[in-house]
Amino acid sequence: MIQSNANAIKLEIRDLRKVFDGAEAVKGSNLTLKRGEFLSLLGPSGCGKSTTLALIAGFLEPTSGEVLIDGNPITHIPVQKRRIGLVFQDYAIFTKLSVKQNLLFGLEAQKVRRVEREKSVAEFAEKLGLNGLMNNRGSDLNMSEMQRVALARVLVTKPELLLLDEPMSNLDAALRASLRGELKQIQKDLEQTVLYVTHDQIEAMSMSDQIAVMNNGNILQIDSPEDIYRRPQSRFVAEFIGEPLINMMSCEVFSTSDALLLSTQAHKEMRLQRGWGESGKYLLGIRSHHITVEHEPFSGSVGVIVKLVENYGSEHVLHVIYGDESMTVMVSPGFAREGDNVHVAFDLKDVSLVDPATDQIHHPDKLDETA
């Protein structure tokens, strides 16, 4: 299918709300997804992401708001006619049909000619490595086979939009890693527009063009994976993304006659650009591997004591005592042992400052624009 405008918006949801028995599961979400884009809806379980998916697919009727595909509202179009492909968490393979019948199902339902049906099914069976399984019963497949059949079954119908609902949560870690790559490759090859629902940040980070982080029925931030990671706009996003958990330290911003200064418990009077904002108490968020650490003191460093070393395999995480708070720092294995003295420093451009009143985040390196 050739679209005249490559950047056309494929899916748009406007002020989508869903109320169940008085509880608001989705609280007025907005989202746009361009053709060929891969967007992940990321959030903890119960955040409303699956409800959003069901609203887009059409299994639920929104309380208010609209879903548009190619600019046309589809809120009142039946599920059958939406041409939205779905991959379910349990894959929902038709257990009583063969793999081949599974793949043919959508094309038969859409009354595609036999010759074309067979051709498309053969093509996708090849692409997803299902050739040896075509006569197996749906009930006789293992998890990874099920996933590939579920994918092939919807892809063969060339859906306008593909929705995937936590498709990897039933797989073990090794399989997940290899399937992430495969899925991304297929999506790119087919230029398939994908909305991917997951609670796993690694899946979201590794495959997505855009990530929408959701919590409590709200979409908190939609950005590229880099920006979600580096520039979270709220405390929830900062803490939900990244491993280990982002460090949150108390700090205070105050102004003197010639400068705006920031002090943590250990680092004193780091210089912020003028006009940055109001003085007051903040939380300073800094990721473990944005912290520089040396055995010897260096410019801007403060000395800390290593309390605990966690082994992550390729990396070690030091838990150090920073003022009277705890901080984690990422280092290469064998860098330090418990009880060692090390010196740490960080750059203010990597810092997220959380306003404790609103939980909104300010990024000090953006000062020039606002000043």
Partner 1 sequence: MHQTKIWVTVLKRTAVIIAAIIAFFPIYWLIATSFKPFEEWASWPPIWLTDNPTLQNYRIVFFPDMAREFATQQSGSLDYKVSGSAWKAFKGSAIISIVATFFSVTFGTLAAYSIVRFNTGGKNYPFQFLTVRMVPPIAVVVPMVVLFSILKLSDTYFGLILAYTAFTLPFSIWMIRSFIDDVPAELEGVAMIHGMTQLRAFLTVTLPLVKGGILSTALFIFILNWSEFLFALVLTAGNVVTVTLQVANYVSASSGKLYGVQAAMGTVSTLPVILFGYLIQRHIVRGLTFGAVKR
Partner 2 sequence: MSRIPFNVRLVLPAQLTIMAVVVVPTLILIWLALTDWQPTQNVAWFNASFNWFWNFYDLWYDERFVNSLIRTLFVVVFCIMVELILALGLALFFMDEWPWRKLAVSIIILPMMIIPVDAANAFFMLFNDHGPINHLISLVTGQLFEFSWLSHPTWAMVPIMMAEIWQWTPLMFLLMLTGLMNLPENQIRAAISLGASPARIFFKVMFPLLLPVISIAVVIRAIETFKIFDPVYILTRGQPGGATETISMYMYNGAFVYFRMGYIAAAALLVLAVVVSICLVLAKPLRKHG
Interface with partner 2 (CB under 8 A): 57-59, 79-86, 88-97, 101, 105-106, 108-110, 150, 153-154, 157
- Of 5 and 142, which CB lies nearer to partner 2 in the complex structure? 142
108 binds, among partner 1, partner 2, none (CB under 5 to 8 A by kind): partner 2
Q: How far is the CB of 195 from partner 1 (least distance, A)?
A: 20
Residue 76 as a binder of partner 1 (CB under 8 A): the answer is yes
The SS3 call for residue 169 is: coil
Stretch that binds partner 1, among 71-79, 109-117, 233-241, 319-327 (CB under 8 A): 71-79
61 binds, among partner 1, partner 2, none (CB under 5 to 8 A by kind): partner 1
The DSSP string of 97-126 is SBHHHHHHHHHHHTT--HHHHHHHHHHHHH
27 Cβ neighbours under 8 A, 6+ residues apart: 17, 48, 216, 217, 218
- Of 85 and 364, which CB lies nearer to partner 2 in the complex structure? 85
Nearest to 369 by CA among 284, 279, 276: 276
Q: How far is the CB of 88 from partner 2 (least distance, A)?
A: 5
113 binds, among partner 2, partner 1, none (CB under 5 to 8 A by kind): none
Report the 10 Å Cβ neighbour count for 346: 22
Beta bridge partners of residue 76, listed in sequence order: none
**195 to 17, 89, 122, 160, 237: CA distances (angstroms):** 18, 14, 26, 11, 19
57 binds, among partner 2, partner 1, none (CB under 5 to 8 A by kind): partner 2
88 binds, among partner 1, partner 2, none (CB under 5 to 8 A by kind): partner 2
Of 15, 20, 44, 61, which one interacts with partner 1 (CB under 8 A)?
Answer: 61
Residue 58 as a binder of partner 1 (CB under 8 A): the answer is yes
- What are the φ and ψ backbone dihedral angles of 73, each rounded to 5 degrees? -65, 135
Q: Could you tell me if 117 and 105 are in contact, meaning their C-beta atoms sit under 8 angstroms apart?
A: no
Which pair of structure tokens corresponds to residue 192? 């398939």
- Of 156 and 270, which CB lies nearer to partner 2 in the complex structure? 156
Rounded to the nearest 10 degrees, the angle between the axes of helix 173-190 and helix 143-155 is 10
- Of 68 and 92, which CB lies nearer to partner 2 in the complex structure? 92
Binding-site ranges for partner 1 (CB under 8 A): 58-61, 76-79
